[in-house]
Amino acid sequence: MCRRPMLSLLLAFILLITQVGCWSSKEVEELSIYTGLALDKGELTPLEQNLEKKGSRYFKKNKITASVQIVPKKSSGSTEQQGGGGQGPNYVNIAATGDSLLEIFRQLSLRLDRPVIGHHLKVMVVATDLAKEQTMQQLMDFVLRDNDIRPSCLVFLSKDRAASTLVTKYEDEVPSIHILYMLRNHFRTSKVMRGVNLSELDGLMHSKKSYILQNITESDGELEFSGAGIIKGDTGHWIGTLGQQDVESIGWITGDVKGGAVKTYDKRNEAITYEIKSVKSKITTKVTEGNDISFHVKIESKGRLIENWDDKADPTETRNMKEAEKEFEEQVTRRVKSVMHKLQSEYKVDVAGFGDHLHIEKPQVWKKVKDDWDYKFSKIPVTFDIKLSITDLGSSAE
């Protein structure tokens, strides 16, 4: 090489010009990064109606309205904005209507100065009325295929318009990120479900199992996780909702409770509250000779008596403590039975994982019943054995 200085110089030069950058790099400031996506039943936004009146049309059937949440609204001018005293929200929601998600996204390019990019999509909200019309498989197809959108994106449902869940009244907050962080509260109450991400959803859809997704409601710029929507496995459609308490009770059945409270009223109708420290649940399957399946759920929980409004009862007395335990047990049993009634009689779906237990414990039996499992499940007797023990009374000894 040293003998041919010209050649090595040339090589070095070629290396130099090829190493300066990426082939098709795009500056992050020049992209519209969206973190939230809401899917609604196709309904033209006022802006779109106006545009259409002025002749902006292309051939479509308006099946779906997609709203993307783009953050930050203005990345290059963010410092100036801060100097101006933070006017307006930190994000912009932009909605468009069409039939295919990708087409809608590309159509957005007609209105945006920077192309949208899905690398940071964290949260998707699907309106239940849309999920009633279209299957989840259809709605998720694009996001599962796309190379930008990561399967770590979480999926939620909304009974109202999904686009409204991507709005907040707090100025420096981004609603989609807010939703993402709200999930952390799972350890505070199991009314907050463990988030279901796209790859989990993909598995659920492929296995044709019924499942639930957390429901989000919005009022006056505030969001709340409120219960869950049920998606029926074999159709992929939304069929109904479970309340907050039902979601918590499903947590008790599956043993997925990290914390929370059980409040009940004692015999003098005063509130007493139990703080959950741990919940263990064990589902056992029984199959008789005649192939009759039954489940038995044994739930054990430990916790403390954290609030006692009844000043007549002294909880330090073992008798009173036992009584309180009984009352809590009754309360939990009532809740669990109520959700079982909903699942077995009202909706006829198994979303509490009984099928998985049968599959793992008795694969041969499962093979026979799996085709019409949701219906068969609704006829299967489930018994409960719920045991709560109060281990301490907190820092107040009375």
Partner 1 sequence: MFRRSDDKITTKQAAVFLTNTVLGAGILTLPRGVTEKVQTPDAWLSVLLGGCIVILVVWLMVKLSQQFPENTVYQYSRRIVGTIPGGFLSVLLIIYFLIIAGFEIRVLAEVTMFFLLEGTPIWAIVIPFIWVGSYLVFGGINPIARLYQIVLPISLFFLLLCFVFSLRIFEIDHLRPVLSEGILPVIKGLKSTILVFSGCEVVMTLVAFLQYPEKALKAMVVGISIPLILYFLTVVMVIGGLSMDSTVTSTWPTINLMRSFEIPGFLFERLEFPLLVIWMMQMFCNFCSFFFNASLGVSQVFGLKYRYAIFGLIPIIFISTMTPVRMMEVFSLGDAIGYMGIVIFVLVPVLLSIVFIIRKKGMKQNV
Which residues make up the interface to partner 1 (CB under 8 A)? 22-24, 144, 147, 150-152, 197-200, 202-207, 356, 359-361, 363-364, 366-367
* Closer residue to partner 1, CB minimum distance, 88 or 203: 203
Question: Which residue bears the tokens 């259409």?
Answer: 52
Indicate the residue among 43 and 200 with the shorter CB distance to partner 1: 200
List the one residue out of 375, 286, 274, 360 whose CA is nearest residue 323: 274
Cβ at position 361, least distance to partner 1 in Å = 8
Q: Which is nearer to partner 1, 56 or 207 (CB)?
A: 207
Q: Residue 147 Cβ, how far from partner 1 at the closest point, in Å?
A: 5
For residue 222, the minimal CB distance to partner 1 (Å) is: 25
DSSP 196-232: -BHHHHHHHHHHT--EEEEEEEEETTEEEEEEEEEE-
Pick between residue 198 and residue 339 the one whose CB is nearest to partner 1: 198
How far apart, in Å, do the first and last CA atoms of the chain sit?
89
Residue that is written with structure tokens 């709200």 in the block: 182
Indicate the residue among 200 and 275 with the shorter CB distance to partner 1. Answer: 200
Count Cβ neighbours within 10 Å for each residue of 38-76 and write b for 16 or more, e otherwise. Answer: bbbbbeebeebeebeeeeeeeeeeeebbbbbbbbbeeee
What is the closest distance, in whole angstroms, from the C-beta atom of residue 97 to partner 1 in the complex?
27
Beta carbon of residue 51, minimum distance to partner 1 (angstroms, whole number): 30
Q: What is the rounded distance in angstroms from the CA atom of residue 183 to the CA atom of residue 187? A: 9
CB closer to partner 1 out of 295 and 328: 295
Cβ(102)–Cβ(142) below 8 Å: yes
CB of 78 to partner 1, least distance (A): 21
- Least distance from C-beta 21 to partner 1, angstroms? 12
Complex with partner 1: residue 325 or 356, whichever CB lies closer: 356
| Cβ 384 to partner 1 shortest distance, Å | 21
Report the largest interatomic distance among the alpha carbons of the chain, rounded to a whole angstrom. Answer: 102
Cβ proximity to partner 1, 23 vs 59, nearer residue? 23
